[in-house]
Amino acid sequence: MKAVIFDMDGLMFDTERLVQYSWNQAGRAMGKGDSGEEIYHTLGYNKEKRREYFKNLYGDRFDFETFQILSSLYYYRYVQKYGIPVKKGLYELLDYLIKNHYQIALATSSSHQSALKLLRATGIDGYFSVMITGDQVQHSKPDPEIYQRACDELKIKPSEGIALEDSYHGLQAAHACGLGAIFVPDLVLDDEPVRDIILCKCDSLLDVITYLENITPKDYFL
């Protein structure tokens, strides 16, 4: 049995840069300046983990809920005007996986509502047999819980699956679960910190197809 588990933001959609933009706008509106740079420290975090991060950064009195509301406002204004930016090779990879009888799952730190909205808006919700989101798990990446949940629902051993990730936290979570991990960079480009725990680094999702076409099952499945 073969399965590929996708992260979402920054991997499938070019939304991490959009989040960075919306955080900058919200931070300025709240007198905190450009908060977008904090995304580099929170990639792979779910909402609660990000709340904890910002409280530690700005103090317990920081109104994280208002920050979230403002960020969402700027985010969806951008989406309404320009649409959802889809990463290169997404549709081609999904079609390749279906054609070659892979199971496909989603393991994202975003909320279920946000994830489903993006998948439906881009017409790809039907590709995923399993969807685990950040509000369905107790522990955020780099904890492996979200990937273990995905494997359990796919009814596979972690050694039978591959995770696609764009963040260090996500790659660490996949590796800790026992999945093979492929790094597809987005905001973070350097693979040196995770080189020892990944199968490979692919410049785009199209390159994931090339990787899968040039390996045999024994290369990554036990």
What is the Cα–Cα distance from 69 to 64, expressed in whole angstroms? Answer: 9
What is the Cα–Cα distance from 52 to 39, expressed in whole angstroms? Answer: 13
What's the whole-model pTM score?
0.86
- Max distance between CA atoms of the chain, in angstroms, equals 54
Contact 140, 46 (CB under 8 A): yes
- The model's confidence at residue 150, banded by pLDDT at 50, 70 and 90, is very high
pLDDT digits (tens, 9 = 90+) for 83-116: 888 999 999 999 999 999 999 999 999 999 989 9
Nearest-CA neighbor of 198 among 177, 175, 214, 221? 175
Nearest-CA neighbor of 124 among 104, 107, 109, 108? 104
CA 103 to chain centre: 18
